[in-house]
Structure 1
Amino acid sequence: MTDNALFEPYKLGTLTLANRIVMAPLTRNRAGPGFVPGDIAAKYYSQRATAGLIISEGAQISQEGQGYQDTPGIYTQAQIAGWRKVTDAVHAKGGRIFLQLWHVGRVSHVDLQPNAQAPVAPSAIKAETKVFVNNAFADVSEPRALELDEIQGIIADFRRAAANAIAAGFDGVEVHGANGYLLEQFIKDGSNTRTDAYGGSIEHRARMILEVTAAVAAEVGAQRTGVRISPVNAVTSTDSQAQFNYIAEKLGQMDIAYLHVVEGARSGPHDVAPFDYAELRAKFGNTYIANNGYNLERATSRLTKGEADLFSFGRPFIANPDLVERLKTAVPLAELNPATIYGGGAEGYTDYPSIAASSRA
């Protein structure tokens, strides 16, 4: 597979990536006290530094933005210092890494919120999902609708978190606008029934993600800014194609580094709902990262057809720290232990062997 363009360098903004394979963000629930990533996180990410680009697990931009236990933050000096160990370790291996900026909105639980307050959302509509809290999965709590005068504070939190990420040594940041979290809650009319400037029309529902992205890009540079979206995943919407075409076009005008798209249902079928991803990509006009259930054959086929630029792999990177080499040399992939995905220590986190380690055993 050495002649496969998937393994050739790619220019992303001012960065040159070693290949077109991206490690997708993966929540692992292993942050230490104070929601600080520890030395074990530095080892975990550095083991996977042969990816052309690593996008970190989501890091909440504030305590209010947290939705699961033991997830890392990016709003304190201790968290910045913890992440600096991660970026130093990845860079020492020649890797590139972006931090995903995360606010979960209504996908949270009062036990994770400051003063046990209700989670915030565009509208007081409870999500039909669960969160990992108190070492178990539990139904989310009832949210409250954000007041109009609170929204600028959240945008400022995103901007501050982006600055913190660069201070921690990241090569850039990804704004998390996917998978049913706060920014997607604003985008989709299944979760946003507001009647002010942040609800109603396509343009108004897009305002939050566009203002957040503009603020982040102004802080760290457009070429250090990416955005992740999931047009047909998680929250229902009556006008997904028109809504996301509009967002993609506006993001393209900002000249951000990339658009990272969950195609179809996360960890599920691509055709769960009608959607034209080629049209979306054309509206954006810059680097398009395709995500959701990709393998070597499918990624190669779409790259050959010019249908995407980069391809992000999620769970395969958990059990295969050297995924790029395994794909390149057709070595079978190791199997994931689902019992160790969320929480715990080294088991199922940093103890999956590489090809080289396996051959020495």
Structure 2
Amino acid sequence: MPTLFDSHRLGELTLPNRVVMAPMTRVRAAAGGLATPSMAAYYAQRATAGLIVSEGVQPSLIGQSNPGTPGLHTDEQVASWRPVTAAVHTNGGRIFAQLMHGGRVSHPDTTGMQPVGPSAVAAAGDVFTPSGPRPAPVPRALETSEVPEHARSYAEAARRAIDAGFDGVELHGANGYLISQFLSSNANLRTDRYGGSVTNRIRFAVEAVSGVVDAVGAARTGIRLSPGAGFWGVEETDVPELYSALLAELARLEIAYVHFEATADDDVLIALRRAWPGALIMNPVLPMGPKQTDRAEADRWLGLGADLISFGRAFIANPDLVERLRVGVPLAPVDEATYYQGGDDGYLTYSTYQYAA
């Protein structure tokens, strides 16, 4: 069985270890969705990860979910990301941009536009806005003729990501955002070619991934998925069939990896692992759940067939996480109050492990 510290070939990259920094929203972007010098420092501090996947980056203005998040849909945004990717590469790291279209998980106060989705069904709960949490609005259902435009937005952002110096991109197909909404059996009530049957509900995801592959190449393309997760009120009533069908289509595209979250039972996830012939990144714990990924869970999933293991919250407070895992020293606790507050506190203020003299 491989260890976390063995190298791995992923697409055209050779990763020095199998530790992946998972994408995590930190809402530290400047006005206009621009990346900042603090973001460059933050990611560079964590460049010992085998691979970094950035926070969710909106591929269009209407795709923005939360205020304070960065984009990849303007020339200014591309230019702002170049110092970030350069800092990571200077420190010996590799970084993919996660492309995240929020779909219905957005608000006019954030974007100035009514959110869009597969159907006019609001997300469950409150969404973040510049003035605080507000009830999720009812989105405008996309016309059939509009859907390909939103699928193409991922490809357009992927081209910009490569221009900005990223090594590749990960489509955010998880956690109740736009791709996940199309996969859903309750957020997607369409009766056209994008709704109803499993074949139709996976169509948007496949078109989005296909466009990215055409734009930047399969070796630079991954996707994150959360089978059966239920975030933002999204339901999937046929998880094994749905995701087996999706993985079969993605396998034909020969993308670099699929990134699973542990949002279904082990038996479902193991069956999907067996159905997927390519590289698998596994996030072994429920996102924002009570547990954080530790060495034991990482080793368990390497034994179950994962190729790489992603760590989320542990990377916030431990910029030297790879080394801490390697030598077995304690992990620093994270201050949850600073997750989304902005500024450098709780962002750049965590240090590497201090050994006793």
TM superposition score normalised by structure 2: 0.94
- Alignment match, 2:31: 33
Q: Which residue of 1 aligns with 2:338?
A: 340
Secondary structure at 2:337 match in 1: helix
- Whether 1:124 and 2:124 are equivalent positions in the alignment is no
- What is the CA–CA distance in structure 2 between the aligned matches of 1:123 and 1:152, rounded to whole Å? 15
The whole-number CA distance in structure 1 between the counterparts of 2:164 and 2:184 is 33
TM-score (normalizing by structure 1) = 0.93
CA distance in 2, matches of 1:326, 1:117: 45
Write the deviation string for residues 71-125 of structure 1: whole angstroms up to 9, x where unpaired. Answer: 0000011111111111000000110100001100000111112xx3321000000
Percent of residue pairs identical: 47
Residue 184 in structure 1 maps to residue 180 in structure 2: yes
Work out the CA distance in 1 between the residues paired with 2:197 and 2:102: 23
Preserved contact between residue 110 and residue 130 of structure 2 (Cα < 8 Å): no
Q: 1:5 to 1:24 in 2, by over 3 A?
A: same
Tell me the equivalent position of 1:267. Answer: none
Q: Give the secondary-structure state (helix, strand or coil) at the position aligned to 1:55.
A: strand
Instruction: Report whether the alignment pairs 1:213 with 2:209.
Output: yes
**Which of 276, 284, 296 is matched with 2:268 structurally?**
276
Unpaired segments ≥5 residues, structure 1:
265-269
> For residues 110 and 331 of structure 1, what CA distance do their matches in structure 2 show?
46
The CA RMSD over aligned residues, in Å, is: 1.5
Aligned 1:59-138 pairs, distance under 5 A: 59-113=57-111, 116-138=112-134
1:22 and 2:20 matched: yes
Deviation per residue, 1:277-335 (Å, 9 max, x gap)? 122122221001111432101211221x2421100000110000111111111110101
Q: Are the aligned partners of 2:284 and 2:298 in contact in 1 as well (CA < 8 Å)?
A: no
Note the alpha carbon deviations across 1:34-54, whole angstroms, 9 max, x for none: 110100000000000000000
Matches within 5 A, 1:1-361: 5-113=3-111, 116-233=112-229, 234=231, 235-264=234-263, 271=265, 276-293=268-285, 294-303=293-302, 305-355=303-353, 358-359=354-355
What is the distance in 2 between the residues matched to 1:12 and 1:64?
32
Q: What's the secondary structure of 2:4's corresponding residue? A: helix
How many positions carry a matched residue from both structures?
347
Q: Which amino acid aligns with 2:261?
A: V
Q: Which amino acid aligns with 1:53?
A: L
Q: Which secondary structure does the structure 2 equivalent of 1:6 belong to?
A: coil
Work out the CA distance in 2 between the residues paired with 1:135 and 1:47.
31
Query: Structure 2: 5+ residue runs without aligned partners?
Result: 286-292
SS at match of 1:29: coil
Give the deviation of 1:276 after TM superposition: 1.2
Displacement of 1:359: 4.2
SS of the counterpart of 1:344?
coil
Q: Tell me, what secondary structure is at the counterpart of 2:62?
A: helix
